[in-house]
C-alpha cells in the first residue's frame, strides 16, 4: 500500500513539473558508441549489448512494470516483433525493477522479448535515463536505436507509449536506407 502511495505521489509530481525531480547524467549523443552493459533478463540469463553486434538494437527504458503507460508501450513492441525481426532488430526493455518483477510482467502481459533488470541503476544512469524523485529512483521513458556497429543512431527522450513502436519502426526504415548506417 505504501509503495502504491509513493508511486501515485511520484506520478503527480512528474505531471506537475515539480523542481524536486532530478535527472541523472546526460544521454549519449547520436554517433557515439553506446555504453556497453550486461544485465539479467526476466529469464535469469545475462544479456550484454555486445551480444547483438551486427543487429539493430532498440533499447528502451521505462519506469515501472505493471503501470498503464509501460504496459501499453510493451504491448506495442510485442505486437510489432515480426516487423523488428524483418529489420534485423531486437527490442530490449530496461527498468530498475527486478528480474522477478519482469518475469511476472512478461507472463501476465504475454511478452516474449527481453526485459532487463537494472537494479543498481548503472545502465539507466549511463544512458541519461535515471530519474531521482525524493527517495525513489526509476528509469525515464527514453529509447535509443543502436546501429549494428554499436553506435547510437537515434535517441528519443520524449516518448508517447501509444505511438512509439511505430515511430521506431519508421526511424529504422529511414536509418537502414542510409548507406553509412546500414551495417552492410
Instruction: List residues with catalytic annotation.
Output: 70
Separation CA 81–CA 178 (nearest Å) = 23
7-13: Cβ within 8 A, 24+ apart = 7/64, 7/67, 7/136, 10/133, 10/134, 10/136, 10/138, 13/133
CA-closest candidate to residue 139, choices 121, 112, 113:
121
CA-closest candidate to residue 70, choices 47, 100, 89, 97:
97
156-163: Cβ within 8 A, 24+ apart = 157/27, 157/128, 159/60, 159/73, 161/69, 161/70, 161/72, 161/73, 161/76, 162/72, 162/76
Neighbours of 46 (CB within 10 A): 11
Handedness of CA 85, 87, 90, 92 (dihedral sign): negative
Amino acid at each position: 500500500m505504501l509503495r502504491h502511495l509513493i508511486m501515485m505521489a511520484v506520478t503527480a509530481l512528474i505531471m506537475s513539473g515539480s523542481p524536486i525531480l532530478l535527472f541523472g547524467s546526460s544521454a549519449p549523443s547520436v554517433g557515439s558508441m553506446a555504453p556497453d552493459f550486461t544485465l539479467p533478463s526476466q529469464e535469469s540469463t545475462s544479456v550484454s549489448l555486445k551480444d547483438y553486434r551486427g543487429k539493430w538494437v532498440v533499447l528502451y527504458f521505462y519506469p515501472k512494470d505493471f503501470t498503464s503507460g509501460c504496459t501499453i508501450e510493451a504491448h506495442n513492441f510485442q505486437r510489432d516483433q515480426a516487423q523488428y525481426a524483418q529489420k534485423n532488430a531486437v527490442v530490449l526493455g530496461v527498468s530498475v525493477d527486478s528480474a522477478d518483477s519482469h518475469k511476472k510482467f512478461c507472463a501476465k502481459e504475454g511478452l516474449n522479448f527481453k526485459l532487463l533488470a537494472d537494479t543498481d541503476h548503472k545502465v539507466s544512469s549511463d544512458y541519461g535515463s535515471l530519474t531521482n524523485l525524493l527517495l525513489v529512483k526509476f528509469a525515464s521513458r527514453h529509447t535509443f536505436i543502436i546501429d549494428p556497429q554499436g553506435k547510437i543512431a537515434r535517441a528519443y527522450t520524449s516518448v508517447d507509449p501509444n505511438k512509439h513502436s511505430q515511430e521506431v519502426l519508421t526511424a529504422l526504415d529511414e536509418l537502414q536506407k542510409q548507406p553509412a548506417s546500414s551495417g552492410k
